[in-house]
Structure 1
Amino acid sequence: MSVEEKATCRVVQPGAVTYEGKQGHTYVAGISAEAVGASGICMLMLTLPPGGRAKAHLHESHETAIYVLAGEAETWFGEKLEQCLTVRAGEMFYIPAGMPHLPINRGTEPCTAVIARTDPNEQESVVLLPELEKYVA
C-alpha cells in the first residue's frame, strides 16, 4: 500500500499470500502494514507440522498473542529457554516483547494458530538467537 493511500476497511482471505519468516516458518499473510496499511498490529496464521520447530528468537519491540485453533505446541522461553509451556487448541498464549522463545510441535497433528503482534511490520524486529538452540533438544 502506498503512502498516498489511506487505510480503509478490508477483507483479507487467509492463504492468498504466504511468506517465509526468519524464524523458519511459512506464514499465511493476513493483516499487516504491507497488506492493508496497518499501523499498529499484525495478524497472521501459522501451521506448525508435527516435528516442526522454530529457530530460537525474540521480537525485540513487540508483544505477541497467539490463539491455537488446532493441535498443540510447546514453547520454550527465558534467557536460556529454561521454561516451557504447552498451548493446546482453544487456548491463548502471550509472549512479552524481548522474550527469547522457541516453539516446537512434538505432537502427531499439525498445530494451527492465529498470531497477533503489536508490530505491523512483523518480521522487522525478529532477532535470531542461534546461541540458544543448544538448550532445547
Structure 2
Amino acid sequence: MDHLQAKVQAVRPGPEVMTRQRLPYFVGISGDTVNASGLSMHLVVIPPGARAEPHIHIGYETGIYVLEGTVCTRWGPSLEHETISRAGEFLFVPPGVPHEAINLSADMPARAVVARNHPAEQDLVQPFTPLIDD
C-alpha cells in the first residue's frame, strides 16, 4: 500500500468468535479488519478452568501479553514442558512449536492480547495430537 494512501484505523472488536483452538477471541487487527499485511492482534479469553486444544502455528511467531489471570502453557512434542505466565508478563511462541494454554483459575477468566506476524487470525492454525510415550 502506498504510504500516501495508507490510513490510521481504530478497531472496535465485534462479538466473540470461537477459534480452532477452542477459545473465544475478540478479533482486532488483521488482514480482514484493516487490510494488515504482516500483523494480527486480538484479545483471547480463557474461561475459568478451560484450556486450548493442542495446536501449532504454521510459519509465524506469536507474542502474548497476559492482562489478567495465570496461564500454564504446555509445549513440546508430548506437551512435556510447562511455562507459567501471570498478569503483566509476555510469552513468546516460535513457529511450529506444539502447545496448549490452560487457565489455572477455577473461578476467574484469563485474558491476554495475542499478536502474530501474519495477518490471518486462524488460517495457519493446525490441530496437534501430542506424542504418547510408551
Q: TM-score by structure 1 length? A: 0.87
Structure 1 match to 2:12:
13
The letter for the 2-side match of 1:110 is P
Q: Matches of 2:50 and 2:103 in 1, distance apart? A: 5
Aligned residue runs from structure 1 range 1-137, under 5 A? 7-14=6-13, 16-108=14-106, 109-129=108-128, 131-132=129-130
**Is the contact between residue 56 and residue 133 of structure 1 (CA under 8 Å) also seen in structure 2?**
no
Shift of 1:134: 6.8
1:72-130 CA distances to partner (integer Å, 9 max, x unpaired)?
A: 1100001111100110000000000011000011213211000001110121110101x
Secondary structure of 2:33 counterpart: helix
Give the Cα–Cα distance (whole angstroms) in 1 for the partners of residues 132 and 72 of structure 2: 16
The answer (yes or no) to whether the contact 1:45–1:114 under 8 Å persists in 2 is yes
The residue type paired with residue 118 of structure 2 is D
Structure 2 residues without counterparts, runs of 5 or longer: none
Q: Aligned pair in 2 of structure 1 residues 134, 105: CA closer, same or farther (>3 Å)?
A: farther
Q: Provide closer, same or farther for how the CA distance between residues 26 and 133 of structure 1 changes in structure 2, counting only shifts above 3 A.
A: farther
Query: Aligned residues: percent identity?
Result: 39
Aligned to 2:130, the other structure's residue is in SS state helix
**CA distance in 1: counterparts of 2:131 and 2:32, whole angstroms:** 31
Q: Secondary structure at the match of 1:127?
A: strand
C-alpha contact (below 8 Å) 1:31/1:44 kept by paired residues: yes
Cα deviation, residue 43, structure 1: 0.1
2:97 is paired with a residue whose SS is: coil
Q: For the structure 1 residues 26 and 94, does the alpha-carbon distance in structure 2 shift closer, same or farther, using more than 3 Å as the test?
A: same
Task: Structure 1: state its 5+ residue gaps.
Answer: 1-5
TM-score normalised per structure 2? 0.89
